[in-house]
Amino acid sequence: MIDFLKESTFAVNDVLRVAWKALKTHYVSIAGLCLLSFSTSMLSGFLSALFADVNIFISGIMALGFILLYFGIQFTMFKYILNILDGKDGMNLRSTIPSYRHFFTFFKATFYFLLTFVLIFLIILALVYLIDLVGVKSKVVVQIALALTVLISFFIGIRISFFPFFIIDKSAHAFQSLKFSLAITRGNFTQVIMLLSVLAIFHAISAYFFRQSYIALGFLILIFNYALIVPLSAVSICLAYRKMMSEYEGDQDPEIMKNII
């Protein structure tokens, strides 16, 4: 299916440079979608708290509606950015709205995503339990299991986090999207971590100032985040996905174990 994928690495500074250039050209539309996504998230939290004590059923329906709306905006934004990166500037925004099949596939893949972490914990717990049989204290066993679970889950979580792009961009099936995410990030884990770390710095700074009660400064940084950093992050992640795709030469049906390490 995706026989144009090629094995690669990408330079973080090149990704940020090209992403900044693309963002400047299409800032209003991309920033507008980011603002709409942020507003949806904030409104969802406010209305959920408002109706929580009124009617649980209504609150649940509203929560589900806002979840679908939020991810719909996110998918629309990513598809729109991918079209920009592909030089399809003439396509209207409506053509980038995801279908019901995309939503169903995404939530199915997300279930597999979360199930992976549960299986990792159970496997590690079983292995560490064997160590417990040879005399290691049970408290130590649990701590080791949790530490290993967090470490391995973080590694695999980053590796399969690009699965939504294959769903919205190539209409891949749920499990197939996870396998392709593992495949394109093989050899690119360090670069992806560096890119995400750079983009996370301002978010961390904003959170720090809020915790330190510097509300005004924290609020200004928050505005800066959603006016510039969040749109730049969205374009950068899409560009990283495109670069890894364009340089991958793996199988059309990649094996999981082959691409984990």
Q: What is the pLDDT of residues 100-120, one digit of tens each?
A: 888 899 899 889 888 888 888
The pLDDT of residue 260 is 62
pLDDT confidence bin for 205, thresholds 50/70/90: confident
Q: Which residue has the higher pLDDT, 114 or 257?
A: 114
Tokens, residue 86 = 């592909």
pLDDT confidence bin for 8, thresholds 50/70/90: very low
Give, to the nearest 10 degrees, the angle between helix 163-170 and helix 100-132: 160
- CA 137 vs CA 124, 131, 147: distances in Å: 16, 9, 16
